[in-house]
Structure 1
Amino acid sequence: MVLNVPGLISVIIFYIVILVIGLWAARRTKGETNSENVMLAGRNIGALVGIFTMTATWVGGGFINGTAETVYSYGLVNCQAPLGYALSLVIGGIFFARKMRENGYVTMLDPFTRAYGERMGGLIYIPALLGEVFWSGAILAALGSTLRVIIGLSHEVAIIVSACIAVFYTLFGGLYSVAYTDVVQLACIFIGLWLCIPFALTSEFVENISVNSSTEWIKEVDPIYVGVYMDSFLLLIFGGLPWQVYFQRVLSTRTAGIAQTLSFAGGLGCLIMSIPSILIGAIAVNADWSRTAYVTRDNFNVSDIPNRASDILPLVLQYLTPEWVSFFGLGAVSAAVMSSADSSILSASCMFARNIYKMIFRQKASEKEIIWVMRIAIFGVGALATIMAITVKSIYTLWYLCSDLVYVVLFPQLLCVTYLRTSNTYGSLVGYIIGMFFRIAGGEPSLGIDVLIKFPYYSTENGQMFPFKTLCMLMSFTSLVFVSYLTDFLFKKNILHPRFDIFKCVVNKDYPDVELKKYNANPQEVFANPGFTQSSGEIAAKQ
């Protein structure tokens, strides 16, 4: 395909503008030596900027491209992600935003490391990291397909350049750069997509989308897939909660009230911003592609369109709108990608620097050292996401898998650490292992993972038809609760000797090993000793 020079120039100009804004915002962190201020913008994000950055973070390239792809391929009824993620933000605002903000956490992993210990927090980081990498990969892949279709730029080059730009300004400005670029990017998404809709709707190649809409692009759920449908919907709602990219915005707000407000507004924003993509999917269904330049000028085979569903949004922009309009749409997609990619990369890097590097490996690390580790991690996460975007084909598959392990493994952990006071490391570890094992055993064709356990209604042709992901999540949750209550009861009733509390999370959590040995592993005697006092959760010798 011939390179479209005017389109390439427009993309370069857009990238320069975003880069300048990101570096301008980075001035607020110049000379900053407090890692918490870099990660959370000094907890000074107000309602307006907070709403913009929350909405822009969720409305990424995977969101707008994936929505159009699904409406075109499977119908509006089967496009669950916009509503699912909107409900997720609302539920997060009701049940988690205020609690997390009032406790003054810095990352989503903080409550886990406090309740379950640093090493358990490190294990919980694994699915959190995978989720962020999948998310960023979906976003970058969306931009790659768009630039390939509209301006003829190589898929790989588009992804790599976009990732480098996002990494560059995030590297210097932290959340300040991310938040302020999000304001501009969300405006670009809204204006760019809505500008394209009237031209695409009135194209001579497009029939009225309201005619036979229920059968053409709204469709219905096949009864065979009801179990899978419900499983996916619950996954999107509750799997959309335990994300650092969400809680980073919640924790950066000035007050807990603002944290709730931006959660609710972000949910509404997701629904509003999905409308243009839904219409583009409907337009693609009702287009006569054999009459467009896709066939008459570029000599593509019209029968290939269904196989290019992940490209359907850029195809509509390219062949059903004037060239100058498609450039605005291209700007919208680019903005969507940048607004989410930078957020996701920063989120994973912050968790690594604070909850892995500092808490597990270098407890005495200085604030400056933590900031540099975070910057190095930004490069690493950006590289992983870039590789994922280049190697995985379907945008919607990546977008959908983002919440998978997060739903099965992290959601039960978040629920228990927030609301179950007796949850402990033993329950957390067992719940983690059970959830991870049974989810992987269920198989994942898109990642080449074979089925080990065939749940009820399994079909060789269609795979797992039972809502097994929700079952895995419930198994993880119930095992976490049961084991936590059981160990709490056994240790506190002295049925199990305190020396068996190897994770120091029930009766030994406030007492050093040396003192337990000195008093024959009896915490009550340690506590009664006048030579010791409890400070910051530990027993320190009085001088």
Structure 2
Amino acid sequence: MNTVHVTILILYLVGLVATGLWFSRTKKISTGDDFIFAGRQLPTIVMVGTLVATWVGSGTIIGGASFVYSYGPLASLIFFAGTPLGILVLYALARRIRVSGSYTVPQILEMRFGISVRMLAAAITILAYVGIVAYQFTGGGSIISLVTGLTPGQGAIIATLIITFLALGGGLKSVAWSDFFSAAIIVTGLLIAVPIVLGRTDGFTGWWEDLPTEATTLSGGLSALALLGYFLPTFLLIIADQNMYQRLGASRDPASARRAMAGMFFASFLIYFPVIVLATAAITLMPDAEPGDAVLGLASAGLMPTVLGGLILASALAFIITTGSSFLLSVGSNIVYDGFARFTRGGLSDRSRLLIHRITILVIAALAYVLGTFFPTVLELQMYSYTVYGVALVPPLMAAFFWRRATTAGVLSSMILGVIVTILWEQLADSELNAVIVSLPVAVIALLVVSLLTTPRAEALPDELAEPDPEIDPQKER
């Protein structure tokens, strides 16, 4: 246990808690929109920071590093490519997402396909997001264990409490500003760490020359389908990620939403490339390490300057904490807006929405903590959660925006079969292939075939989902 690392970690956590307390004050959070959209007043640079930090959680710092350590840097380029490609899709949709004024992704689907699709989409979102929250708890526990000497289970309890507190406190305002500062620190820390760590690998060249032969190939020893099975879940998730939609909804106007996505596209490379290089260096510097500790182990094992290692560990934990808080906040909105608010006559008052949202967050946090104890690795839970959500929601969302011939029956068939095939494959199939390789084609074919055999609900896209006129004054748009 390194005293400096422990001190930096504690100070960082205290700062996160203080941020949550500051933004939990009544005058900062007085309405449901304040809680979930930060009053739609986030500056663009803060938007970029919160988009990056929300996306880059334990799935990157631990799950992604684990993939690099196991299969090598070239294969990891394919693994990580899903994010920038998905961002380009969201950039194209950013104006429509902002103009739609929706609180949740299922609400967007209802505009086109009706209430039955919204309810099924909400249920699937809750199922998947509880899993994503669970592996943030697990990942946060791993970092706390590395730094303090506590067991991963004890660390997970601490991570659970802090993640839940941030989500309960100031909502998106506290999460977004915490994200922004954490993103700035970890990007700086990772970029500084790269030359320092490479300098320890035989004159900057050993990080590649000393790799096992298989790790220097484009496939990393995986079959093409297996590699595609790692790429697709991330690509699909970001396209339909409700956190992305809610943050775009929190932007000041449609133009700001597009600028934020452009900023996220470039900022993502400042995270992924250092993670790939550092995790690759760990293959030779720490040959007996656990794959998930590839990057964090470099910081904790004294292979970086002490203060730099402490900052990377602390900000990595902060990324995981704020990602967990974001997903807790987001899945809570499904229960509030897709459930209570949707079926309450006359709607819910702001006070009621805030109260129900916070109670929901507590319940979901408890469920996620229990779920996390059943999956042995972050990467395993990551692939399962990403696949369930991406396979079920991406085809309907793309149909909602782009295919006028899609029908409610087609969308329902696609979602139901996508989830069933994913779960059955994960539980019963004995294969190296991730479920997405089978379940995504099933979902797409079901959507196409059933839609062509049934009558569309509407001939035209709703105004809320159509491409807005760029000449319209952004201030007049929702």
Normalising by structure 2, what TM-score?
Answer: 0.87
SS of corresponding position for 1:209 = helix
Indicate yes or no: 2:178 matched with 1:181: yes
Q: What one-letter code is carried by the residue in structure 2 that aligns with 1:73?
A: S
Q: What one-letter code is carried by the residue in structure 1 that aligns with 2:161?
A: C
Q: Distance in 1 between matches of 2:135 and 2:211?
A: 29
Q: 1:362 to 1:331 in 2, by over 3 A?
A: farther
Structure number with higher relative contact order (C-alpha < 8 Å, ≥ 6 residues apart):
2
The aligned counterpart of 1:498 is: none
Higher mean displacement: 203-212 or 164-173 = 203-212
Residues 329-368 of structure 1 correspond to what in structure 2 (within 5 A)? Answer: 329-360=312-343, 364-368=347-351
Structure whose CA Rg is larger: 1
Cα-to-partner distance string for 1:345-376 (whole Å, 9 max, x where unaligned): 11111121111122136664322111111111
Cα-to-partner distance string for 1:480-499 (whole Å, 9 max, x where unaligned): 5324xx234xxxxxxxxxxx
Indicate yes or no: 2:158 matched with 1:153: no
SS of corresponding position for 2:295 = helix
Displacement of 1:104 after TM fit? 1.9
Q: 1:131 to 1:205 in 2, by over 3 A?
A: farther
Q: Distance in 1 between matches of 2:241 and 2:435?
A: 27
| Alignment equivalent of 2:96, drawn from 85, 94, 99 | 99
Q: What one-letter code is carried by the residue in structure 2 that aligns with 1:476?
A: A
Normalising by structure 1, what TM-score?
Answer: 0.77
Q: 1:468 to 1:223 in 2, by over 3 A?
A: farther
| Alignment equivalent of 2:398, drawn from 415, 439, 458 | 415
SS of corresponding position for 2:207 = coil
Q: Distance in 1 between matches of 2:147 and 2:207?
A: 24
The aligned counterpart of 2:428 is: 450
Q: Distance in 1 between matches of 2:227 and 2:286?
A: 30
Pairwise CA RMSD of aligned residues?
Answer: 2.8
SS of corresponding position for 1:437 = helix
The aligned counterpart of 1:401 is: 384
- Whether the 8 Å contact between 1:185 and 1:338 is mirrored in structure 2 is no
| Alignment equivalent of 2:440, drawn from 447, 470, 475 | 470
- Whether the 8 Å contact between 2:140 and 2:317 is mirrored in structure 1 is yes
Q: 1:466 to 1:313 in 2, by over 3 A?
A: closer
Q: Distance in 2 between matches of 1:210 and 1:9?
A: 34
Q: 1:224 to 1:55 in 2, by over 3 A?
A: closer
Cα-to-partner distance string for 1:13-50 (whole Å, 9 max, x where unaligned): 11111111233234475461x32332111222231111
Q: Distance in 1 between matches of 2:46 and 2:228?
A: 34
Aligned residues: 456
Displacement of 1:5 after TM fit? 5.0
| Alignment equivalent of 1:254, drawn from 238, 246, 252 | 252
Displacement of 1:252 after TM fit? 0.9
Q: Distance in 1 between matches of 2:265 and 2:148?
A: 33
| Alignment equivalent of 1:190, drawn from 163, 187, 190 | 187
Q: Distance in 1 between matches of 2:297 and 2:65?
A: 11
Q: 1:214 to 1:272 in 2, by over 3 A?
A: farther
Q: 1:101 to 1:288 in 2, by over 3 A?
A: closer
| Alignment equivalent of 1:317, drawn from 292, 299, 308 | 299
Q: 1:183 to 1:223 in 2, by over 3 A?
A: closer
Q: What one-letter code is carried by the residue in structure 2 that aligns with 1:242?
A: A
Q: What one-letter code is carried by the residue in structure 1 that aligns with 2:168?
A: L
Q: Distance in 1 between matches of 2:29 and 2:227?
A: 50
Residues 31-42 of structure 1 correspond to what in structure 2 (within 5 A)? Answer: 32=30, 34-42=31-39
Higher mean displacement: 230-239 or 11-20 = 230-239
Displacement of 1:74 after TM fit? 0.6
- Whether the 8 Å contact between 2:248 and 2:257 is mirrored in structure 1 is yes
Residues 488-507 of structure 1 correspond to what in structure 2 (within 5 A)? Answer: 488=456
Q: Distance in 2 between matches of 1:138 and 1:461?
A: 23
The percent of aligned pairs where both chains have the same amino acid is: 22
Q: Distance in 2 between matches of 1:36 and 1:109?
A: 17
SS of corresponding position for 1:197 = helix
Displacement of 1:424 after TM fit? 4.1
Residues 100-115 of structure 1 correspond to what in structure 2 (within 5 A)? Answer: 100-115=97-112
The aligned counterpart of 1:528 is: none
- Whether the 8 Å contact between 2:53 and 2:319 is mirrored in structure 1 is yes
Q: Distance in 1 between matches of 2:82 and 2:366?
A: 29
Q: 1:396 to 1:144 in 2, by over 3 A?
A: same
Q: What one-letter code is carried by the residue in structure 2 that aligns with 1:267?
A: F
Q: What one-letter code is carried by the residue in structure 1 that aligns with 2:239?
A: L
Displacement of 1:205 after TM fit? 8.6
Q: Distance in 2 between matches of 1:159 and 1:224?
A: 32
Cα-to-partner distance string for 1:170-199 (whole Å, 9 max, x where unaligned): 212111111111111112212333344344
Q: What one-letter code is carried by the residue in structure 2 that aligns with 1:450?
A: L
SS of corresponding position for 1:371 = helix
Displacement of 1:146 after TM fit? 2.2
Q: 1:387 to 1:268 in 2, by over 3 A?
A: farther
| Alignment equivalent of 2:243, drawn from 233, 236, 245 | 245
Q: 1:178 to 1:81 in 2, by over 3 A?
A: farther
Q: Distance in 1 between matches of 2:54 and 2:240?
A: 15
Q: What one-letter code is carried by the residue in structure 2 that aligns with 1:13?
A: L
Q: Distance in 2 between matches of 1:462 and 1:106?
A: 37
Indicate yes or no: 2:63 matched with 1:66: yes
SS of corresponding position for 1:146 = helix
Provide structure 1 residue ranges, at least 5 long, that are not aligned to the other structure: 290-301, 452-459, 489-504, 508-543
SS of corresponding position for 1:254 = coil
The aligned counterpart of 2:467 is: none
Q: Distance in 2 between matches of 1:312 and 1:7?
A: 17
The aligned counterpart of 2:356 is: 373
- Whether the 8 Å contact between 1:88 and 1:267 is mirrored in structure 2 is no
Q: 1:106 to 1:29 in 2, by over 3 A?
A: farther
The aligned counterpart of 2:310 is: 327
- Whether the 8 Å contact between 2:214 and 2:220 is mirrored in structure 1 is no
Q: What one-letter code is carried by the residue in structure 2 that aligns with 1:262?
A: A
Indicate yes or no: 2:448 matched with 1:487: no
Q: Distance in 2 between matches of 1:26 and 1:270?
A: 29
Q: 1:393 to 1:103 in 2, by over 3 A?
A: same
Higher mean displacement: 241-250 or 335-344 = 335-344
- Whether the 8 Å contact between 1:231 and 1:470 is mirrored in structure 2 is no
Q: Distance in 2 between matches of 1:134 and 1:205?
A: 41
SS of corresponding position for 1:105 = coil
Cα-to-partner distance string for 1:378-397 (whole Å, 9 max, x where unaligned): 11222233333343222222
Higher mean displacement: 327-336 or 359-368 = 359-368
Displacement of 1:322 after TM fit? 4.6
Residues 95-244 of structure 1 correspond to what in structure 2 (within 5 A)? Answer: 96-203=93-200, 208-211=206-209, 215=213, 217-221=215-219, 225-244=223-242
Displacement of 1:124 after TM fit? 0.7
Displacement of 1:103 after TM fit? 2.1
- Whether the 8 Å contact between 1:38 and 1:174 is mirrored in structure 2 is yes
Q: Distance in 1 between matches of 2:18 and 2:286?
A: 42
Q: What one-letter code is carried by the residue in structure 2 that aligns with 1:14?
A: Y
Displacement of 1:152 after TM fit? 0.7
- Whether the 8 Å contact between 1:145 and 1:314 is mirrored in structure 2 is no
